Amino acid sequence: MYNKNAPNILEVKNLTVEFSNSRKVTKAVDSVSFEVKQGETLGIVGESGSGKTVSSLSLMQLIQTPPGRIASGEIWFQSALYSNAEHPEGKVNLLNLPRKDIREIRGKEISMIFQEPMTSLNPVYTCGAQVVETILKHEKTSNDTKFSKMTYDKAKEITMAMFNTVHLPSPERIFNAYPHEISGGQKQRVMIAMSLVCNPSLLIADEPTTALDVTVQASILETINELKALSNMSVMFISHDLNVIAEVADRVLVMWKGQIVEQGFVEDVFTNPQHPYTKGLLACRPRLDAKLKVLPTVADFMGSDTQKQKFQSVGQAILFNYESEDELREQYEQSLKREPILQIKNLKTYFAQEKSLWGKVKSYVRAVDDVSLTVYKGETVGLVGESGCGKSTLGRSVLRLVTPMSGQILFEGKDVLSMTSAELRAFRRQVQIIFQDPYASLNPRMTIGESILEPMRVHDVGASDTERRNMALELLHNVNLTEEYYERYPHQLSGGQRQRVCIARTLGIKPKFIICDESVSALDVSVQAQVLNLLNQLKQKYDLTYIFISHDLAVVKFIASRVFVMNKGKIDEEAFSEDLYSKPQSDYTKKLIESIPTGNFESKRKALIKAKIQHSSSNPPL
């Protein structure tokens, strides 16, 4: 909770971080200064490449050298490890500490929740062992016997309690599971547990809820706030979701091109933004209170040599693009009059959960359990639900990337489940999927051009490589990338650019139907807006049909006319998107919608008061 009289636990002064290659030196962070008070949450927002993550990595000397280096600046931290009679506040410049000493602070006093749990957890150790290791490293017993049985048992007990705190299901199972055996959301919760288990005085949360469902996100944010209130922990919360920042942060820094362009109390910055960049970030996020024809982008507010400034305020952008419910309902009713392109009837996709000694299946996970739905030509259908509800398995079942146990999948009247290998190959040319992770979807050894050409060769699109190359260049243009990207490799592109390449590759074989599986969930709001606008433009241009799978209900509301809600392998509710959000019928749908961060400052005040009361009751005056 913010207290203007509280001491600064962290002071960053004129920090400059550079990255160099053979051609040039780039200032990723340029003379940045800020402070974090004890017990406050400082939000840092900005697009990918703005310098927000590099700034946080610098605090713990995690900048890879080379190519990066901290060129100048000071980072003063109030450390209990360096507190003594002469210096009771324990103030130390982290940039002057040798690596051995900074390791003692990492994890114990300054802890970090990284954005990507897939690469942050060691695949050869169980989840529990990795959290226990953190405790054993920093919480030594009095006799300093780090690996004694008693120490391990106590560390396991603390780990299990923390797994419960972050709402992990079946903590005992998760403790003994390897990272590949649990979902992405569960991996992130393990990372959060690992970061909080030693009660750090400063927690750096780098996009900690980006890949999580709205219900899990809400519980994680509540957990961080509860622990912060109980221990007076300070938090640096880095996110591209401004609604999340509005609900959790006391103050906010807005970063752009390595510099802080605006800062202040969250309510002041978000209700009266001054810098065009801040206005752009606030406007480009899909809204729940209004449906826009086209999402505004940062460029609409910033202007450039090739584009004039389009909007002066967030309100102006909303009014310019507003679409009435009557217009939306008419479009929805017209789409239902077209012929069905996909019909799913009583589909069941089960996975073996437990087998006997002889290999007989004793129990199943019912990922898709008796699901029926119809998609009409030219419409966009949203498929939402929590992690593990079966939405991605349903999408993969349509393409037969996983094999259903029973049911029917009819595409243009043909039964997909009875197709031969040759027929299935022809079917997959017409039905494509855009996966969630653009990093894993592109071969790092192939140029962007080759990645687009490969499926065109496989499906005999184009008479020659010259013709296919011209088609690939046109596709790059259609997804707003220039010809120079044709010869680049995936590591030379940003996340948003990679995702556009994946879309171009999908369009290269001229499909009729595209399944978008969490295809914008990991993107910045500004890039997300560009990709969503692009998907809508391409839909109109090529008469495409989409199934849009996402845990982000605001995104689904923008892009889909009809929404299916999945819960535990079944369809829980289906409705016109406007009706679903304004008049949800099932309790599960209501819970999902109530969990969406809205940036409501009144709800934030109530949460702060609640946390303060809980903290006071657990610490009564003597």
What pLDDT, on a 0 to 100 scale, did the predictor assign at position 50?
Answer: 82
DSSP 453-485: HHHHHHTT-SSSHHHHHHHHHHHHHHTT--GGG
Q: Residue 609: exposed, middle, or buried by beta-carbon count in 10 A (0-12, 13-18, 19+)?
A: exposed
Q: Tens of pLDDT along 33-64?
A: 999 988 889 999 988 778 888 888 888 888 87
Domain boundaries, the chain: 1-109+200-290+600-622, 123-197, 329-344+373-594
Residue 405 or 85, more confident = 405
| Mean of pLDDT values over 15-31 | 84
Pair type for strands 91-93 and 251-256: unpaired
Rounded CA-CA distance 475/62 in Å is 38
Kindly state the tokens that stand for 470: 């011209």
Give the H/E segment covering residue 31.
strand 25-37
pLDDT of residue 522: 67
Tell me the C-alpha to C-alpha distance, in Å, between residue 580 and each of 576, 584, 585, 592: 6, 5, 8, 11
Answer whether residue 487 shows pLDDT above 60.
yes
More confident residue, 585 or 230: 585
| E strand or H helix at 234 | strand 234-238
The CATH class, in words, for 329-344+373-594 is: alpha beta
pLDDT at 215: 75
Tens of pLDDT, residues 546-574: 999 988 888 899 999 999 999 988 999 99
Closest CA to 40 of 88, 76, 94, 2: 2
8-state DSSP, 519: T
Q: What is the pTM of this model?
A: 0.78
What pLDDT does residue 408 have? Answer: 93
CATH of 1-109+200-290+600-622, one of 3.40.50.300, 3.30.70.2860, 3.40.640.10, 3.40.50.2000: 3.40.50.300
Mind giving me the DSSP string for 12-24? EEEEEEEEE-SS-
pLDDT at 62 (0 to 100): 85
Are 298 and 90 within 8 A, CB to CB?
A: no
pLDDT tens for residues 120-137? 788 888 999 988 888 887
Pick the closest to residue 300 from 292, 308, 289 (CA basis). Answer: 308
Per-residue pLDDT tens digits for 296-320: 888 888 876 666 778 888 888 888 8
Q: Is the peptide bond before 620 cis (omega within 30 degrees of 0)?
A: no
* Mean pLDDT for the chain overall: 83
Q: In what order do the strands lie in the sheet with 8-20?
A: 25-37, 8-20, 68-78, 91-93
Determine the pLDDT at residue 612: 45
DSSP per residue over 530-595, as a string? HHHHHHHHHHHHHT-EEEEEES-HHHHHHH-SEEEEEETTEEEEEEEHHHHHHS--SHHHHHHHHT
Query: Strand ranges (DSSP E) for 59-109?
Result: 68-78, 91-93
Number of C-alpha atoms within 13 angstroms, CB side, residue 78?
17
